[in-house]
Amino acid sequence: MDTPYREPPVSTGTPLIEMRGIERTYVMGDNLVHALRGVDLTIAAGSSIAIMGTSGSGKSTMMNIMGCLDQPTGGSYLLNGKDVARLSRTQLADVRGRMIGFVFQSFNLLSRTSALENVEMPLMYQGIPGRERHRRALGALEAVNLADRADHHSSQLSGGQQQRVAIARALVGEAPIIMADEPTGNLDTRTSFEVMAILQGLVDQGKTIILVTHEADIAAYASRVVTLRDGLIIDDRTQTPVKAEVAA
Ligand code: ADP
Ligand code: MG
């Protein structure tokens, strides 16, 4: 029997993610693909970090492991002090649901469904009753300045608005971590700034933002940039983030 795992509260500045010697090897027929070859990474709560690197360097593999969607084949991963590298699938899903909200390049919204219903979706899976779902989903839409679009179908929204709905969906479960894989990959420059302004605002409220990007302009909004190459971290620097200003 799996015992449900309850993690302690997250406090700003303490290590939220601690990876030591993380390896991920895929078996492809007779070949082994070493996607991660010993990654050490500690991420403090309340920070923003951009993961960069060329295609095939291991960014998505690392994001999947950090996001508890996949498990390493070697090394240890402490998420908020708890070793998640060896949890069962159910326990992992449970931790993921409470700790992490995901944002994807392609938004992943249901098209003939209102913004509000899209944001409510994760709460439905948690069995939260209708009124409570509505209230919380509306609050999350307010946080991304889209409360006035709650009834619009996603197909009636611009790309930037759709990504903001997706951010609201990532926020609604009140997870402390937001992970975004190329969140601005399908957006033009101006709209990318809007999305980055929202993500920066979340850091100011204590969220931890981890984003994968191959664009230096986008990484500039993070307080730390980690670069991968061939499954290893080759560069790790902190910086003063560029402030994302939204033109009035
Ligand atoms: P990135 O996101 O930086 O482009 P990935 O993490 O997707 O890199 O891939 C890293 C390496 O692992 C690549 O060589 C890729 O081909 C390989 N890889 C990724 N996923 C799988 C998989 N499911 N099976 C086999 N090889 C994989
Ligand atoms: Mg990738």
Residue nearest to atom 23 of ligand 1 (CA): 26
Query: What is the best residue among 33, 54, 104 to mutate for testing ligand 1's pocket, by most ligand atoms within 8 Å of CB?
Result: 33
* Residues with C-beta less than 6 Å from any ligand 1 atom: 26, 28, 33, 35, 53, 55-61
Type of residue found at 78: L
Is residue 58 within 8 Å of residue 49, measured between CB atoms? no
Say if CB 153 and CB 144 are below 8 A apart: no
pLDDT digits (tens, 9 = 90+) for 129-175: 999 999 999 999 999 999 999 999 999 999 999 999 999 999 999 99
Nearest Cα to Cα of residue 101 among 149, 151, 132, 144:
144
Q: Indicate whether 246 pLDDT > 70.
A: no
Q: Measure Cα distances from 79 to 15, 48, 148, 174, 218 in Å.
A: 8, 16, 36, 16, 26
Q: Is the pLDDT of residue 13 over 80?
A: no
Beta bridge partners, 165, equal none
Write out pLDDT tens, residues 198-232: 999 999 999 999 999 999 999 999 999 999 999 99
Residue in the structure block whose two tokens are 């609050």: 139
Closest CA to 140 of 108, 114, 116: 116
Please report the sign of the dihedral spanned by the C-alpha atoms of residue 152, residue 157, residue 161, residue 167. positive
Token pair of 164, please?
């903001």
DSSP 148: G
Q: What is the pTM of this model?
A: 0.91
Let me know: does 66 contact 210? Beta carbons within 8 Å: yes
Least confident range of 79-88, 148-157, 239-248:
239-248
